[in-house]
Amino acid sequence: MKKTVEERHFGPIWFLPGDNYGIYPNCHSVYIEGDGVLIDPASNRKRLMQLRDAPGVREVWLTHWHEDHFMHLDLFDDVPLRVSEPDAPPLTDMDIFLDAYGMEGEDDREYWRSTLQEQFHFRSRRPNRFLRGGEIIQLKTGAVEVMATPGHTPGHLSLFFRPQGIVLLGDYDLTKFGPWYGDRDSSIEETIGSVQRLRDVPARIRLASHEAGVFEEEPGALWDDYLAVIDNREKKVLDRLITPQTLEEIVGAWIIYGRPREPKAFFEFGERAHMKKHLEKLMNEGRVVQDDGTYALAR
């Protein structure tokens, strides 16, 4: 039995559930009634088409550049778009998009070119304006604080709707899978810092982009569990390096996804990208060394 989540209205802030519990490649959206602002247009396509027709969408905002957050942006080609400046370039060109993921293999890139066009309706877009961390946007429904929460992507944003006491966490979604920080310019350290910052926001309701999506009570231990996923991944990497390993051997352990999965161009890429991030962090800390393509614990 599939889990479901319902559309919820918190005054003018509407939570619009994505298909299949908002699990990737789906995503929840947020709509601001009265202002006509749609955030992350990747929930149910039919529902978004209804919103477009009435009460209408006057502006689209993106929390960041990932494909599962703009999947139905093509429905709003004529609507002004806002995103952070660091996250704007991937939206302008498909090859820049793939570069931002750090995707190097031509087979992977060809798979993603097709997938981005067919599944995610990728079209080159340039934002009309930027959203900037620290700015306060005055809407009819009240002030929105734009929070720079990098790590997941360089320009990932969270939004604090002050009058309603609601914070949109974006992809710091408190799921059991844990954080994604596998892009070329993602950062484990910044991810941790952003989650800790969001934990301190004095909100009464927290909205997230995937799975449960709505937290009407303080998430409590979920914050710690979410960050503990990073520590657990790191520990597994260190345990493997008791015996020196190549990157491919580490990737083959499937520390992130648990087992081989299809499509390979998605899951193996994600596994390798995260392992590279952990190895870079551990080498920067002097805990791991590399010699001729082999990684080992520092002595």
Gap between the Cα atoms of 181 and 30, Å rounded? 23
Side chain identity at residue 180, one-letter code: W
Gap between the Cα atoms of 270 and 67, Å rounded? 14
Q: Render the burial of 170-183: b for 16+ CB within 10 Å, e for the rest.
A: bbbbbbeebbbbbb
Query: Side by side, which strands form the sheet with 8-10?
Result: 8-10, 13-16, 29-32, 37-39, 59-61, 81-84, 129-131
Contact residues for 66 (Cβ-Cβ < 8 A; gap 6+): 153, 171
Gap between the Cα atoms of 277 and 145, Å rounded? 30
pTM score of the predicted model: 0.96
Q: What is the pLDDT of residue 1?
A: 53
Task: Give the SS3 label for residue 30.
Answer: strand
Q: Which one, of 208, 226, 215, lies nearest residue 18 by Cα?
A: 208
Q: What is the pLDDT of residue 59?
A: 98
Is domain 8-219 given the CATH code 3.40.50.1820 in the classification? no
CATH class belonging to 232-297: mainly alpha
Residue 167: phi and psi, rounded to 5, are -120, 130
Q: Taking a C-beta distance cutoff of 8 angstroms, is the pair 167, 127 a contact? A: no
What does the pLDDT profile of the chain (299 residues) look like in tens digits? 567 899 999 999 999 999 999 999 999 999 999 999 999 999 999 999 999 999 999 999 999 999 999 999 999 999 999 999 999 999 999 999 999 999 998 999 999 999 999 999 999 999 999 999 999 999 999 999 999 999 999 999 999 999 999 999 999 999 999 999 999 999 999 999 999 999 999 999 999 999 999 999 999 999 999 999 999 999 999 999 999 999 999 999 999 999 999 988 889 999 999 999 999 999 999 999 999 999 999 98
Domain ranges of the chain: 8-219, 232-297
Q: What is the pLDDT of residue 4?
A: 80
Structure token digits, residue 224: 């710690």
